[in-house]
Amino acid sequence: MSDFNPALPRPIKWSVGENRYDSTGKQPRSISLFVPLESVDALHDYVTAVAADPSKVKMGKVWDYEQQAEVQVEGIYINGKGRTSPSGDYGTMNPAAMAAPAAPAATDEEVPF
What is the count of structural domains for the chain? 1
Which are the contacts of 79, defined by CB distance < 8 A and separation ≥ 6? 93, 95
- Domain membership of residue 7 (yes or no) is no
- Domain membership of residue 110 (yes or no) is no
Q: How confident is the model at residue 113 (pLDDT cuts 50, 70, 90)?
A: low
pTM to 2 decimals? 0.77
User: How many other CB atoms are found less than 10 A from the CB of residue 98?
Assistant: 16
Between 99 and 22, name the one with better pLDDT: 22
Q: How confident is the model at residue 2 (pLDDT cuts 50, 70, 90)?
A: confident
- Domain membership of residue 3 (yes or no) is no
pLDDT exceeds 70 at position 50: yes
Cross-strand partners of 84: 89
Q: What is the mean pLDDT of the chain?
A: 89
Q: What is the pLDDT of residue 106?
A: 58
Rounded to whole angstroms, how far apart are CA atoms 50 and 63?
22
For the chain, the residue count is 113
Vertex 26: Cα angle to 22 and 31 (nearest 5): 60
Note down the domain range covering 28: 12-93
User: How many other CB atoms are found less than 10 A from the CB of residue 31?
Assistant: 11
pLDDT exceeds 80 at position 103: no
- Domain membership of residue 6 (yes or no) is no
